[in-house]
Amino acid sequence: MRISPTKFISLLFLVLSVFYLYTAYNIQVFAFDENAPFNARTFPIYLGWAGIILSSLKIILPEKITTEVNHKHLDYKSIIYLIIISLIYAAVILKIGYFISTSLFLFASYYFLGERRWGLMFILSFPFVAAFMYLLHGLLNIYLRDPFLKYIGVMG
């Protein structure tokens, strides 16, 4: 039996709702609140049941409109590259600072999306981020934490 992607997502949502409901029932409330008409568990319990009912209906009822996605037209390679670059960016931003990590992130993203005009790629990464940082930090007075630039004395 072939299950449609929409029904599969609904099944995942059903599992999530069951887990959410289980966790909701296990929320620790104060002893005096245990039998109150409303406590920290009440709303999540309603939501858990709502999720279970809606996802079950979606699984059981026949699909009126089917969403067809042609996987041959999906660019998995580029999106996986972008997600990996973004994860690396998130991992290093605190360690090497905003300026270098962001500039490298932009440069790498342009490259993996197929860009090869090196000059333009450079301008739209390092000087662009520097200008953006100046706009935020210098003109709009929005604090932008960058330990590296602080260490070399560029930022106060």
Integer angstrom CA distances of residue 25 from 40, 41, 51, 55, 96: 10, 7, 15, 20, 43
**Please, which of residues 130-149 interact with other proteins by CB under 8 A?**
132, 136, 140-142, 144-145
> In angstroms, rounded to a whole number, what is the distance separating the alpha carbons of residues 132 and 129?
5
Residue 1 tokens read as 């039996």
- Minimum distance of other proteins from residue 80's CB (angstroms): 10
Q: Which is nearer to other proteins, 138 or 154 (CB)?
A: 138
Q: Contacts with other proteins in 70-129 (CB under 8 A)? A: 70, 72-76, 78-79, 82-83, 86-87, 89-91, 93-94, 98, 102, 105-106, 109-110, 113-115, 120, 124, 129
29/154 with CB nearer other proteins: 29
Q: Could you say whether residue 23 binds other proteins (CB under 8 A)?
A: yes
Instruction: Count the site residues for other proteins by CB under 8 A.
Output: 71
Q: Work out how close the CB of 127 gets to other proteins at its nearest, in angstroms, rounded to a whole number.
A: 14
Build a one-symbol-per-residue string for 26-65: x at contacts with other proteins by CB under 8 A, - elsewhere. -xxxx--x--xxxxx-xxx--x--xx--xx-xx--xx-xx
Angle at 54 between CA 49 and CA 57, to 5 degrees: 125
* Residue 81, phi-psi category: left (phi > 0), alpha (psi -120 to 50), beta (remainder): alpha
Full 3-state SS string of 37-83? CCCCCHHHHHHHHHHHHHHHHHHHCCCCCCCCCCHHHCCHHHHHHHH
Shortest distance, position 113 Cβ to other proteins, whole Å: 4
